[in-house]
Amino acid sequence: MQARVKWVEGLTFLGQSASGHQIVIDGNGGEKAPSPMEMVLLSAGSCSAIDVVSILQKGRHDVRDCEVIVSAQRREQAPRMFTKINLHFIVTGVELSQHAVERAVQLSAEKYCSVSLMLAAGVDISHSFEIQYVN
């Protein structure tokens, strides 16, 4: 896998993935686009959400929506790495069982989400969830 990051102006960069998708990255605290650290959180949240939805769908559960609220704490001094990250899943569906959602979140956290697993080597990562039911 390969990616490319090209300077545009100031502290704005254009990232391009191996698949050809592009994203603007802002080093000015996210004034124009997500900052690199914001993108780390977006990556962890999206990677885990993909796992949870996929696991629930493969189990033939009627999942209608999945949102992940990613909260983080950072060191005050440089390097301003994350020290704690919480991924809170809000899973909406019809007759979703507590066990099925808990299992999907746990499998993502412990086995499938490569982003979270990679970050867990140096960051305290926790997971929580809630279920919203629809008829």
**From the CB of residue 13, how many other CB atoms can be counted at a distance below 10 Å?**
18
Give the predicted TM-score (pTM) of the model: 0.93
**Inter-helix orientation angle 98-107/36-58, to 10°:** 130
**Amino acid at position 112, single letter:** Y
Please give the domain boundaries of the chain with CATH numbers for all domains: 1-34 (2.20.25.10), 36-133 (3.30.300.20)
Which tens digits make up the pLDDT trace of 54-90?
999 999 999 999 999 999 999 999 999 999 999 999 9
Could you tell me the pLDDT band of residue 135, with boundaries at 50, 70 and 90? confident
Torsional class of 10: left (φ above 0), alpha (ψ -120 to 50), beta (otherwise): left
For the beta sheet containing 3-9, the strands, ordered from the edge strand earlier in sequence to the opposite edge, are 3-9, 12-17, 22-26
